[in-house]
Amino acid sequence: MLLLFVMGDKEDSNIQAMRHSLAHILATAITKLWPEVKLGVGPAVENGFYYDIDLGEKKLSDADLKVITDEMRKVINANQPFEQYDLSIEEAIKWAQENKQTYKTELLNDLKRAGTTVAKDLDTEELGTITDSNSAVDSVSFYKNGDFIDLCRGPHVESTGKAGAFKLMRISGAYWRGNEKNAQMQRIYGVGFETKEQLNKHLEMLEQAKKRDHRKLGQELDLFLFSDLVGSGLPMFTPRGTVLRDELTGFSNQLRQSHGFQKVWIPHVTKTELYKVSGHWDKFGSELFLAESQETSDKLALKPMNCPHHNQIFAFQQRSYRDMPVKYLETTTVYRDEKSGELGGLSRVRSFTQDDSHVYCRPDQIEQELNHLLLDADELYKTVNMELRVRLSYRDESNDYLGTKQLWETAQKQLKNAVVKSELEYFEQDGEAAFYGPKIDFMATDAIGREHQLATIQLDFVQPERFGLEYTGEDGKKHRPVMIHCALLGSVERFLGVYIEHTAGKFPVWLAPEQIRILTVNQEKVTVDVATNLQEKAREYGLRVEVDNTNESVGKKIRSSELMKVPYVVVIGEKEISSGKVLPRIRKDIEVQESLEPVSVEGFLKTVANEAKSRVQKTSLMSSKHKI
């Protein structure tokens, strides 16, 4: 386990002290307002702090945030000094019991027992108040301000007046010690910064993030929808949204097909037997969508994953070591009955599509196969302009893993070799492996610095065993293949959610649902004919083009194309008709330079078609500011 927080430079530790102090002040205010409160833990977290409290029957609402904020301000304005002192663990427990702080008592008793047991079932990062160690603790730290005292490891700032700028954000539920079976407490979240300016900057950043929320853009850009009649967590995609899906999965498939993957197809319903064999039934049975046959006695389920089906295809034929590796690829939808509260936008849904693939290979082929997949992931994320780093997730020394230790060791070594060879940024972590094998998790960073886990490559020693998969080796004996699961986009829906926010809806030409929009200056026949003609020509180049010849002003039509974030807009009027040339208006983010030179229609279309084909971010075309 790690230290509570790593001391970076001075600034970092100062802001940490401020956030700890703010949590402390929050507790001060709450205790003043509701003296019967039972305090849980109140750590500093990224951008702020929170405190978990138990108020019994009293349920806080947003209106209470104002009251609490006012009380906190009073404490801050009083500029009470923070006094730190240590108590022996016995004294501390006595204090907690006298003050009826049952949660603190529990924590202190655990600390007294032994640091290691605490470390095991507590996330010390969340604890905040409690120091982490490997042995029993004999004294703990307290902070006092005014007549409020709280168990707290600190550090704190000198006095309440120096805690910086804060804003209470929200109230939510949180289970005591993060365990669903424990009591649910109320968590009050706040953000805290050294200065008012920094706080405002952070709040502005949140506003920006809200503007590019994929749910909002999905509506505005006409990409996807939900329907009450269909059900929650079951997204549907419009023609525009479907273009995005098809282009992305097409690219993902193309990358792997170049490495010998073959497409397969499986049905979406299966007998539940399949998952009893795979072992998923015991672990995830409650999240299966069940269906019943009205004709037979079959108990059926919608597939929650694809590997067991693909295993059937592998097992359909006898395999020789010469056939290996066998590589299947399928973009297909899976269904998982997530708990209702866990759904949200496209990030967590009940039907989602995986760009799934499975490699069945000999143990000596693992590294080479991983190599190909890493190359593909690298190219895909470069193309969508997201930075990638990978986590090598290994087993630890516990016995929670299946397969021989030796198999794991060679597999982990091959995993690492492949990653090193790929030159991707990586880090290693023990204890993060799946029970059936080590894995590579990809973290992609978006345009506003948030990291998302999207792609994953997993080795699997278990399913080949459970399904009795085998191939005949050179020695004439039967051998077990190793399976490699891989999805480059992960879930297409989640990827789109992230990607829409990454680009703020300004998709590069190859992905743009509408690549070119043609506007007519008037509705005279000759103008409309030229526009329609241009559209037909563009379609011959495989481009997605719409004509806007509505009875509106050019300004208005430009505005509407801008709102839809169309990369290229061409206006057709007298000038274009007589010259046969166009002056494309180019969306700002893909524009490199401007010029006032009109280009020929053919030249324009050829360039755009090439850009779409080569999936570039920027255009080589020169736009004009159109001062005609």
- Considering the complex, state which of residue 121 and residue 536 has its C-beta at the smaller distance from RNA: 121
How many angstroms separate the CA atoms of 565 and 587, rounded?
7
**Is 439 an active-site residue?**
yes
**Is 585 an active-site residue?**
no
How many angstroms separate the CA atoms of 218 and 240, rounded?
10
Give the footprint of RNA on this chain (CB under 7 A): 59-62, 170-175, 178-180, 184, 186-187, 189, 215, 219, 226, 228, 231-233, 280, 283-284, 287-288, 304-305, 336, 338-345, 348, 434, 458, 521-524, 551-556, 558-559, 562-563, 569, 571, 573-576, 583, 585, 625-628
- Considering the complex, state which of residue 338 and residue 379 has its C-beta at the smaller distance from RNA: 338
Closest approach of RNA to the CB of residue 494, in Å: 9
Closest approach of RNA to the CB of residue 169, in Å: 7
Q: Which residues contact 435 (CB under 8 A, 6 or more apart)?
A: 400, 401, 402, 462
How many angstroms separate the CA atoms of 45 and 336, rounded?
32
Closest approach of RNA to the CB of residue 605, in Å: 17
- Considering the complex, state which of residue 247 and residue 493 has its C-beta at the smaller distance from RNA: 493
**Is 336 an active-site residue?**
yes
- Mark 443-464 as b/e (b = at least 16 C-beta within 10 Å): bbebeeeeebebbbbbbbbbbb
Closest approach of RNA to the CB of residue 187, in Å: 5
- Considering the complex, state which of residue 164 and residue 233 has its C-beta at the smaller distance from RNA: 233
Catalytic residue among 104, 187, 439, 517: 439
**Is 361 an active-site residue?**
no
- Considering the complex, state which of residue 135 and residue 551 has its C-beta at the smaller distance from RNA: 551
Closest approach of RNA to the CB of residue 84, in Å: 29
- Considering the complex, state which of residue 232 and residue 262 has its C-beta at the smaller distance from RNA: 232
Q: CB atoms < 10 A from the CB of 341, how many? A: 8
How many angstroms separate the CA atoms of 279 and 273, rounded?
10
Catalytic residue among 52, 132, 355, 356: 356
- Residue that the structure tokens 């992230």 belong to: 498
Catalytic residue among 16, 354, 412, 463: 354
Pairing type for strands 148-151 and 139-145 reads antiparallel
| Amino acid letter for position 207 | E
- Considering the complex, state which of residue 414 and residue 520 has its C-beta at the smaller distance from RNA: 520
Q: What Cα–Cα distance (Å) separates residue 279 from each residue in 193, 283, 307, 361? A: 49, 7, 12, 21
**Is 356 an active-site residue?**
yes
Q: H or E stretch including 327?
A: strand 326-335
Closest approach of RNA to the CB of residue 457, in Å: 11
Is 266:305 a contact under the CB 8 Å cutoff?
Answer: no
Catalytic residue among 485, 517, 565, 585: 485
Closest approach of RNA to the CB of residue 278, in Å: 9
SS3 annotation, 236-252: EECHHHHHHHHHHHHHH
How many angstroms separate the CA atoms of 128 and 154, rounded?
8
**Is 152 an active-site residue?**
no
Residue 234 three-state SS = coil
493 CB burial (10 A radius; 0-12, 13-18, 19+) = buried
**Is 307 an active-site residue?**
yes
Active centre residues (catalytic)? 307, 336, 354, 356, 358, 439, 485
